[in-house]
Amino acid sequence: MQTQEQEMYGEVQEVLDKLRPFLLRDGGDCELVDIEDGIVKLRLLGACGSCPSSTITLKAGIERALLEEVPGIVEVEQVF
């Protein structure tokens, strides 16, 4: 049986996999680093890592999708 944390990781990864084609289309990607107390820590890769719009992508795109689809998620943070 999976723990709640493992289930959350799986659900977050599923959402990221749905969003990944949009990031890849623009030459970027993201990596799930950790989930701690409902805060998802992501590393933006490729073009997303240096894009001036990366904060908007992270907050308006990825965070919104995770908040809607994964119970227990409260925020998304970018890690470097």
Q: How many domains does the chain have?
A: 1
Q: How far is CA 3 from CA 6, 35, 41, 66, 67, in A?
A: 5, 14, 19, 19, 20
pLDDT band per the 50, 70, 90 thresholds, residue 52: confident
pLDDT band per the 50, 70, 90 thresholds, residue 2: low
Domain residues for the domain of 48 are: 4-78
Q: Under a CB-based contact definition with an 8 Å cutoff, are residues 51 and 57 in contact?
A: yes
73: helix, strand or coil: coil
Write down the pTM of the prediction: 0.89
**CATH classification of the domain holding 66:** 3.30.300.130
DSSP 56-67: HIIIIIIIHHHH
* Rounded CA Rg of the chain: 12
